[in-house]
Amino acid sequence: MSGAGFHVHGPHDHELEHAAQGGHDKGGGMIAQIAVVTAIIATVGAIFSYMGGATQANAGLYKNNAAIKKTEASNQWNYFQSKSTKQSLAEFARDLAPDDKKVAYQGKIDRYESEKNEIKAVAEKLESEATAWDKSSDEQMHLHHRWAQATTVLQVSIALAAIALLTRKKWLEYGMFALAGVGLLVGALALLHI
């Protein structure tokens, strides 16, 4: 109440005035700051988690492709071996055959040799493709581990934020920011394929 230049505050008025001027905040700024940062960290963590899942799926797909190519290469090498066996039998038959039949067997031997070279080229190409798929799978698994590490660090950062809010300890808030920074750094490494 005020009258004739004299002003008296009630206890409630004093508290409202003080709070409006930033006093008796009791961590209100800290709470809002941690809430916003936690929401950002959670969003980034969700993206990192998605990338981790995607790279893991890619790694499995690439490993499957490598297995398919290895099987195809193995089939070609078996085919190569069958041609080698036929060639050996034709050479044996040529050596035992009378002179008038030797030319026919030599033609088969030459054909088998030519076919073997073609089959060998296909088998080596398939083996090369299998190796490339294996390498791609290993690279994707490395990235998966990076994304998983980044996600884990961000999750720990969020847990630290909750503890900081409950305890109102500034050093825990700083720890949360530090861990969030580490998580973002690891995520950047994954993004850069390092």
Cα 8 versus chain centre, distance:
67
Could you tell me if residue 122 is inside a domain? yes
Phi, psi at 102, each rounded to 5°: -60, -35
7 occurs within a structural domain: no
- Which pLDDT score is estimated for 16? 44
Report yes or no on 20 lying in a domain.
no
Domain of residue 179 covers 28-191
Domain assignment of residue 3, yes or no = no
Give the phi and the psi of residue 9 in degrees, each rounded to 5: -100, 140
Burial 26-35 (b: 16+ CB within 10 A, else e): eeeebeeebe
Whole-angstrom Cα distance, residue 112 to residue 103?
14
Mind listing the pLDDT tens digit for each residue in 118-177? 999 999 999 999 999 999 999 999 999 999 999 999 999 999 999 998 888 889 999 999
Q: Judge whether 102 lies within some domain.
A: yes
Please check whether residue 118 lies inside any domain of the structure. Answer: yes
pTM: 0.72
Give the number of domains in the chain. 1
Give a yes or no: residue 6 inside a domain.
no
Spatial separation of the C-alpha atoms in residues 76 and 92, rounded to whole Å: 24
At 92 the pLDDT is 93
Whether 86 is in a domain gets the answer yes
With a CB cutoff of 8 Å and minimum separation 6, the contacts of 127 are: 69, 70, 73
Beta strands at 2-3 and 6-7: parallel, antiparallel or unpaired: antiparallel
Sign of CA dihedral 112, 115, 117, 122: negative
In tens, the pLDDT along 19-70 reads: 445 544 555 677 888 889 999 999 999 999 999 999 999 999 999 999 999 9
